[in-house]
Structure 1
Amino acid sequence: MEHSEPHPPGLIASLAGVAKNSLRLVLSRVELAALELSEVRNHLVQLSVLFALSVLAAWFAIAFGTATVIYLAWDALGWTILLILAVVFAIIAAALIMSIKKLIRQGRLALSATMAELKADRDMLL
């Protein structure tokens, strides 16, 4: 018996293999994106709840603290205490906005692993 070499696959079989591998690649990327989106969603929900609670607590603290300061300082400063408190609250608001920008720049809401994989796929194909 002669041992013959296997025949190379035909064009249709090669195209089917490429299509199957491409589909597997796309499915793995979709699964990765879905996993990262669920993590981002969980972080957004957690961030939203913490933000809402902190805003509520801050409003109560600001209201009661401001009323107390105005009551105690009115005899000595008069209407000037209102201007001082306005400046203090403006500085606090600016600091909070800078903190929010810092959190956004950290990239916790980005799909970094998915984007890196898609870029690698693009670079490999091109």
Structure 2
Amino acid sequence: MEQSAPPHPGLIGSLAGVARNTARLVLSRIELAALELSEARGHLGELALVCALALLAGWFAIAFTTATIIFLAWEAMGWKILLVLAGVFIAITIALVMSARGMLKQGKLALPVTMSELKADRDMLL
């Protein structure tokens, strides 16, 4: 018995195959994006919690340390101690802002795998 070759699908069959493959590609990209979004949401929640706790602890530390320094240095420096502490707090604020920017530049919230797959798809289609 001879096996016959499968018949050629024709234009309609080919278009249906392309549409089917395109739909599968879109669905897989949507699933990947959803997975990465859930992961990014988890990272964002952790970051928000850590930042909130750090702010709370930092405010208590700043308040008590500032009160202690002012109490101890008031007789020697007078009002000038307030300017010194303001400068210290400005320097700390700048350091913290730069640290937060560094954390955001690590790309944990940028969906890197989804973006690279979408770029690869675009390059393949064009």
Q: Same fold (TM over 0.5)?
A: yes
State the TM bucket, normalised to the shorter chain.
over 0.9
TM-score, with length taken from structure 2: 0.96
Q: How does 1:91-106 map to 2 (within 5 A)?
A: 91-106=91-106
Match of 1:91, as an amino acid? A
Identity of counterpart residues, as a percentage? 66
Shift of residue 13, structure 1, vs aligned partner = 1.1
Match of 2:49, as an amino acid? V
Aligned to 1:86: 86
Q: Which runs of 5+ in 2 are unaligned?
A: none
In structure 1, distance between residues paired with 2:112 and 2:56: 33
Shift of residue 38, structure 1, vs aligned partner = 0.3
In structure 1, distance between residues paired with 2:69 and 2:4: 97
Q: Residues 57 and 20 of structure 1: is their aligned pair in 2 closer, same or farther, counting only changes over 3 Å?
A: same
What is the total number of aligned residue pairs between the two structures? 126
Match of 1:84, as an amino acid? V
In structure 1, distance between residues paired with 2:34 and 2:65: 45
Match of 1:83, as an amino acid? L
Aligned-pair RMSD on alpha carbons?
1.2
In structure 1, distance between residues paired with 2:4 and 2:107: 58
In structure 2, distance between residues paired with 1:106 and 1:89: 26
Aligned to 1:49: 49
